[in-house]
Structures are given as structure tokens and as C-alpha cells.
Amino acid sequence: MKGYILDTDIWIELFHHRGEVAKHIAETPANQIFASEVTIAELTYGALHSNAVERHLQEPKEIDSCYTQH
């Protein structure tokens, strides 16, 4: 199966609706988009050190529930 593992920077671009990333991802089936455990950990770490902890902690949870293989 063809798929894409998105890195931390790409997920951040998606969450902030910047660039062409969101458009391309929207055109890609969800079962072809993946995130690594490292990416989830980096986003969680960043969220815990941000000015909007609760809001940003939802982002890695969303990715983990939708885009990682269980």
C-alpha cells in the first residue's frame, strides 16, 4: 500500500492551516496517511511547553486516533 508518513513540521503546518499542505492531505485518503510514534511524542512535548497546552494536547491525540496503526 502506498502511503505517507508525515513528520512533525508537516502536522504543525496542517494544524495551523498554512501552505498547500492541507489541500494535498485533503486529497489523500486517510488510510494512506501515517504518523510515527516519534512525531506524536514531539507534538506532545511541544504542546506541554506551549502557551495553549490544552488545545495543543488535542492535536497529537487526534493524530494518534486517526493516523497511526494500532
pLDDT attached to residue 1: 65
Cα 40 to Cα 2, 5, 13, 20, 27: the distances in Å are 21, 12, 15, 22, 23
Q: d(Cα 70, Cα 68) in Å, to the nearest integer?
A: 6
Rounded to the nearest 10 degrees, what angle do helices 8-15 and 37-48 cross at? 60
Distance of CA 25 to the CA centre of its chain: 11
* pTM for this predicted structure: 0.79
The β-bridge partners of 5 are: 34
C-alpha to C-alpha distance for 66 and 49, rounded to whole angstroms: 24
Ranges of residues in the chain whose predicted pLDDT is under 70: 1, 67-70
